[in-house]
Copies of this chain bind each other. A is one copy, B any other.
Amino acid sequence: MYEGALADLIEELGRLPGIGPKGAQRIAFHILSADTHDIDKLADALKRVKQLVRVCEICFNVSEEDRCRICRDPRRTDENICVVEESKDVIAVERTGEFRGRYHVLGGAINPLEGIGPDNLRIRELMTRLQAGETKELILATDPNTEGEATATYLALLVKPMGITVSRLASGLPVGGDLEYADEITLGRAFEGRRVLD
């Protein structure tokens, strides 16, 4: 129903994840009435991200330099490596303020249905890092779903023989959650992982 540049914009916006046809239309009209300077900033930000952002040569986190901010930080320890699926997971862990080691971004999880096997992830690169001998503990922070569990199990089998402690993030009830609404698998895990109070 729209035509020309407006139709093109609605179409392009509609390709983005989480934006449906109505949302694309709403954003397009917002852009029409917004300040041209602001829209230029958005368009430039899009192009600059494609030009500047790549992955860290050590941990494969997003970075604008050869090595990411975390790998460059001399105050962090090389003794602990936290393995995550995606760069966004690095941010999630960083927000907790609990971890002062390094990361390794796998670039996904093992998913046979989608044809993603160990060779499609940065597992070989992780092994090379571990062979340097600095690492004492490998924390497996892949997602607590089927694919993430499979990946963690696979990595544990691979790494334990190297004499490195391998740990997995605890599964259980989310803080602030409601026991009544917890699914049975989560509640089962919470029972399994219960701690003695002292």
Contacts and interface: CB of A to CB of B under 8 A. Distances in A.
Contacts of A87: 29
Nearest to A8: B45
Given A1-B91, A17-B26, A26-B18, A62 B6 contact: yes
A133 to B, nearest CB: 31
A43 B38 contact: no
Contact of A46 (B16, B42, B50): B42
Interface in A1-51: 1-6, 8-9, 11-13, 15-19, 23, 25-32, 36, 38-51
A53 B8 CA distance: 12
A32 B5 CA distance: 24
Contact of A45 (B5, B52, B95): B5
B49 A32 contact: yes
A43 B47 contact: yes
Contacts of A48: 5, 8-9
A86 interface: yes
Nearest to A64: B4
A4 B40 CA distance: 17
Given A40-B47, A48-B8, A27 B31 contact: no
Contacts of A53: 4-6, 32
Contacts of A25: 88, 91
A94 interface: yes
A91 B2 contact: yes
A33 to B, nearest CB: 10
Contacts of A12: 38, 41-42, 45
B1 A94 contact: yes
A160 interface: no
Nearest to A48: B5
A189 interface: no
